[in-house]
Amino acid sequence: MPKFAFYCFIAIIFVILNAVSGDETYDIKYDNIDIDEILKSERLLTNYINCLMDEGPCTEDGRELKENLPDAIETDCSKCSDKQKNGSEKIMHYIIDNRPEDWEKLEAKYDQEGTYKMGYLNS
């Protein structure tokens, strides 16, 4: 099974976790965001990717995302809710299948060993 760290990467991007609450779980206040709407919006998806890649401006939630992302990756998303993990998987599959150039950039920065993509392609 692939590492959950990269699951968290995308979950955090689109669920927009803004803080760690008591160092046990990430904030769930954005868990009801419609992920399908984000995936349908090339502009929104591109803006978040550019923020994470330091290639564009970040919104307040984008800055918080960048702040929490290293911890999420390091801890294999141990602080993510089930909804965040499921959402991250959906988003990553979408980017791998539909925006491979963006996936390559994100992978180079956040998952240099390619752990998630190899697990996805093998499943």
User: In three state form, how does the secondary structure of 3-55 look?
Assistant: CHHHHHHHHHHHHCCCCEECCCEECCCCCCCCHHHHHHCHHHHHHHHHHHCCC
Tell me the domains of the chain and their CATH numbers.
Answer: 31-122 (1.10.2080.10)
Residue type, 63: R
Is the pLDDT at 17 greater than 70? The verdict is no
Q: What are phi and psi of 20, to 5 degrees?
A: -95, 125
> Residue 44: CA atoms inside 13 Å, Cβ hemisphere, count?
15
Percent of residues, the chain, with pLDDT higher than 90: 16
Enumerate long-range contacts of 41-45, CB under 8 Å, 24 or more apart. Answer: 45/95, 45/99
Is the pLDDT at 84 greater than 60? The verdict is yes
Is the pLDDT at 76 greater than 50? The verdict is yes
* Mean pLDDT across 63-67: 75
| pTM for this entry | 0.71
Residue type, 115: T
* Mean pLDDT across 7-31: 60
* Mean pLDDT across 17-43: 72
pLDDT (0 to 100) of residue 101: 95
Cβ-based neighbour number of residue 100 at 10 Å? 12
Is the pLDDT at 32 greater than 70? The verdict is yes
**Lowest-confidence segment of 29-38, 71-80, 112-121 by average pLDDT:** 112-121
Q: What are phi and psi of 25, to 5 degrees?
A: -140, 160
